[in-house]
Structure 1
């Protein structure tokens, strides 16, 4: 998945907020079935930022 965010986006803060949402862990556990990850994994444990390698626009 590609996520476009503004310059200076705080990914760690966003993942902490996501983890605190109601029923988020229930959703993560259900998605673990399809993502082949360990149940109980958080979104932050599953998603890893990548280094930008190209720009699609100026």
Structure 2
């Protein structure tokens, strides 16, 4: 199992829209998240930033992320979410949400 944390900014004028959508995530999007071996997925908000955490239980993270990106319903969801978000200028090439380095963990 791999733990993943990432961060992005949210446009404050659209924060309530973002929250509204995430209070009722489309079932097809949730199903694709599960099919791509993501579990224990959470998104937190603070001072204009969104922080996401999830656990990946699969064997090929890149392939699962490509599978998710190719899904038409996920693409439709992302088309709504992307204009609400502002990616960090320091993100790695190809990232939308900036992957974070885990510096501590305990069970």
TM-score under structure 2 normalisation?
A: 0.37
Q: Which runs of 5+ in 2 are unaligned?
A: 1-51, 88-93
Runs of 4+ that moved beyond 4 A: none
Distance in 1 of aligned mates of 2:80 and 2:106: 34
More strand by share: 2
Query: What is the count of residue pairs matched by the alignment?
Result: 50
Question: 1:4 — aligned with what?
Answer: 55
Give the alignment's Cα RMSD to 1 decimal. Answer: 2.4
Point out which structure has higher relative CO (alpha carbons under 8 A, 6+ apart). 2
TM-score under structure 1 normalisation?
A: 0.58
Q: Which runs of 5+ in 1 are unaligned?
A: 38-43
